[in-house]
Amino acid sequence: MDEEYDVIVLGTGLKECILSGLLSVDGLKVLHMDRNDYYGGDSTSLNLNQLWKRFRGEDKPPAHLGSSKDYNVDMVPKFMMANGTLVRTLIHTDVTKYLSFKAVDGSYVFSKGKIHKVPATDMEALKSPLMGLFEKRRARNFFIYIQDYNEADPKTHQGLDLTTMTTRELIAKYGLSDDTVDFIGHALALHRDDRYLNEPAIDTVKRMKLYAESLARFQGGSPYIYPLYGLGELPQGFARLSAVYGGTYMLNKPDCKVEFDMEGKVCGVTSEGETAKCKKVVCDPSYLPNKVRKIGKVARAIAIMSHPIASTNDSHSVQIILPQKQLGRKSDMYVFCCSYTHNVAPKGKFIAFVSTEAETDNPQSELKPGIDLLGQVDELFFDIYDRYEPVNEPSLDNCFVSTSYDATTHFETTVTDVLNMYTLITGKAVDLSVDLSAASAAEEY
């Protein structure tokens, strides 16, 4: 271990693994270590025995739930947008060859106490029970504007400058109601709160276009895809990639201590009495607790069920977004469900997650509106964890710390953090102009 590396990465969470892969492909000499004896860090997948041990102590799971090894329960469950940044990153690095994806059946939104399919096109808007007759026409006109909008072609802008016009102003032009704005902003554009209304409309329009293009890509009921066997496959795919490019992996390395020189710059990492020298360190917040601050708490319920969620057209995999306004909250709630069709549970079993940013001292009760949508559950577990963000100045100490995973059940925020970190570390951007059809080998339907 007494060698010198360009970068030492600590923790094998998804963010760290993507960065390790990208940096290895760039030709940097990377050492990747984890204190755990498994991949994934906070974003690992657990089998049934591991799930039981973590949440119920030592007792064995009941036999009627089936074989432990048939379960792959993600601790940070998130779907991927089919044309989104993560899929582009997977193609850019060729990690797609280690994974198989399957489309997600449904994308829904909670409105006025009911679950509705998210309308993403002008035709779907006309059919949606979310809106009355006149509102449907207004929404249809808005969707047509979004579909036709092309940033490079001013003729499609209809005289509007979306870089200066706010989202609120654009929506007002089409006269859309607050309820319509709610599902467009939170279930289509995937904003986490309502700040976007006062920001330039171009961002929301791009997000809506990404949703619609992703939906069209697989002709399924949602714009999302998800790996067979769950997200635990992702960190391992990037670990393989890193190894192909000469990266070194070491699991089960206790007490990884980051060492600094007299100027406060990182100079190496010590574990079990050996020190590996390096120029930069990339890690999750748990490895450098004095360089991060707490910014919130995620509350999550994990349910094992024997049926799909009601009102989702019997979807075997589905995301339901409960916008904050519908619940009288400050942040959205997310329901994520997948099943044996994605090989994450035995036949006939479904795994559902309800997650949100905790706003009170009783996070379990906050999750009730989402849990109520699930119906009868076989087992229910609660998980609460703190969220951290870095407060250090990487240009001074060469430490690049990721932000904790948020409550969203899609990957867009996660990958934004990774790509920003990559630019900080290398001074350049990842080229994501890839041929998206390269991931189509994974369409096993």
Instruction: Give CA–CA dist 315/308, Å, rounded.
Output: 6
Domains of the chain: 2-42+229-290+389-429 (3.50.50.60), 55-103+292-385 (3.30.519.10), 116-214 (1.10.405.10)
Rounded to whole angstroms, what are the CA distances from 382 to 335, 354, 363, 417? 14, 10, 9, 26
Residue 115's beta-bridge partner residues?
A: 110
Indicate if the alpha-carbon torsion angle 16, 17, 22, 23 is positive or negative: positive
- Give yes or no for a contact between 318 and 222, defined as CB atoms under 8 angstroms apart: yes
Q: What is the pLDDT along the chain (445 residues), one digit of tens a residue?
A: 668 999 999 999 999 999 999 999 899 999 999 998 888 888 889 999 999 999 998 778 999 999 999 999 999 998 999 998 888 888 888 888 888 889 999 999 999 999 999 988 888 888 899 999 999 999 999 999 999 999 999 999 999 999 999 999 999 999 999 999 999 999 999 998 899 999 999 999 999 999 998 998 877 789 999 999 999 888 888 888 888 999 999 999 989 999 999 999 999 999 999 999 999 999 999 999 999 999 999 999 999 999 999 999 999 999 999 999 999 999 999 999 999 999 999 999 999 999 999 999 999 999 999 999 999 999 999 999 999 999 999 999 999 999 999 988 888 888 889 999 999 999 999 888 877 776 654 444 3
Instruction: Give CA–CA dist 402/388, Å, rounded.
Output: 9
Enumerate helices (H) and strands (E) in the chain, giving the number of each. Answer: 14, 19
